[in-house]
Amino acid sequence: QVQLVETGGGLVQPGGSLSLSCAVSGIMIRFYDMGWYRQAPGKQRELVARMRRGGSANYADFVEGRFTISRDNAKNMVYLQMNSLRLEDTAVYYCNSDGGPFDSYWGKGTLVTVSS
């Protein structure tokens, strides 16, 4: 059974930082592109950052250099370091593993709340 478990969410003030982790079991992430997505209340889920199995990464425009995605294939872990958080970063953040159209998995998400 494939499981992705996100941790690290919480309440942070604007300008603060959070580090999200995604622990993956049931698959070997080195064979997958890994990504972080988010969904704010009333909005569609959107890509935040994605790191391909080869190591290249891409980010949504709104990240503007504030976030960094990383992966540790040996530990089967994916991370998202988020700095300079803004009110509009408030959302549930989801981890995704993508091995193709019929080989994609999601975690249940972790809530990030940016508030003063």
- Cβ(70)–Cβ(107) below 8 Å: no
> Nearest-CA neighbor of 85 among 110, 112, 111, 60?
112
The sign of the torsion formed by the CA atoms of 88, 111, 20, 95 equals negative
- Contacts of residue 64, Cβ cutoff 8 Å, sequence gap at least 6: none
* List of E strands, 3-108: 3-7, 10-12, 18-25, 33-39, 46-51, 57-59, 67-72, 77-82, 91-98, 104-106
pLDDT, position 62: 95
Cα gap 8→77, rounded to integer Å: 13
Local confidence pLDDT in tens for the 116 residues of the chain: 999 999 999 999 999 999 999 999 999 999 999 999 999 999 999 999 999 999 999 999 999 899 999 999 999 999 999 999 999 999 999 999 998 888 999 999 999 999 99
